Amino acid sequence: MIPGDIFKAFMEAGNDWADKHGAAELLETNLKTLKAHITLQAKDLEQCSMAQAETIALASDGYRDMAQEAVRARTAANRAKVRYDSTKALFDAQRTVEASERAAMRAAT
């Protein structure tokens, strides 16, 4: 294990996860804003109740498209988190193997 390589792998995986997590959070927040905007617009245009306007908003192409984009972004963030956690687990496993080898060498002498 080379400490610099380990640090670099952690930083790359961690930064990738942070970037993708932030993008997913932003899309999810914007999705709520879009839903509110379409709901209010539908209420004014259709002269309907808020419940009906919300249903119109949820059925709109714009909301559906952004919802799909938000799900894709969250999936990418989750996959990046798995890569980060896997990098961490690999490092921990390598450290355990090396510690076991050192202990075996001490016991053999």
The DSSP secondary structure of 32-48, one letter per residue, reads HHHHHHHHHHHHHHHT-
The domain segmentation of the chain, as residue ranges, is 3-108
Q: What is the pLDDT of residue 56?
A: 97
**Does the pLDDT of residue 3 top 80, yes or no?**
no
Which residues fall within 8 angstroms of residue 63, CB to CB, at 6 or more apart?
31, 34, 35, 38, 57
Look up the pTM and report it: 0.78
pLDDT band at 27 (very low <50, low <70, confident <90, very high): very high
pLDDT by residue (tens digit) across 50-96? 999 999 999 999 999 999 999 999 999 999 999 999 988 988 888 88
